[in-house]
Amino acid sequence: MVKTAKEGIKQQDSNSKIYGKMQAVFIEMDKSPATNSAMKELKDLKEAVIGSGGEDAKDAFDPKKHIDAYLPVRLTSRG
């Protein structure tokens, strides 16, 4: 996800587009049929990327810092 975010920043994509790409990567990695659940879990990450400042807040987004802090933690039990 960090790689995807950095590529978006390098291409000067909007924060919305960067988040959309990161969301797609997360859903692909998740392999869960419940994409609505993934979207709810990504709410905090979306806020960190897009923020309340809109597109002008791009400089405040740090992929390494924000992705680790806001990426949902998944715990699985194996029987």
Per the CB < 8 A criterion, the answer to whether 21 and 8 are in contact is yes
CA 66 to chain centre: 9
Q: Is the confidence at residue 3, as pLDDT, over 80?
A: yes
pLDDT tens digits, one per residue of 51-76 = 755 555 555 778 877 777 777 665 44
3-state secondary structure of 14: coil
Domain hosting 33: range is 2-70
Per the structure, how many domains does the chain have? Answer: 1
**Within a domain: 29:** yes
**Within a domain: 78:** no
**Within a domain: 65:** yes
- The encoded tokens of residue 22 equal 């990161």
**Within a domain: 6:** yes
Predicted local confidence at residue 78, as pLDDT: 46
pLDDT tens digits, one per residue of 4-46 = 889 999 999 998 999 999 888 888 877 655 556 667 777 877 8
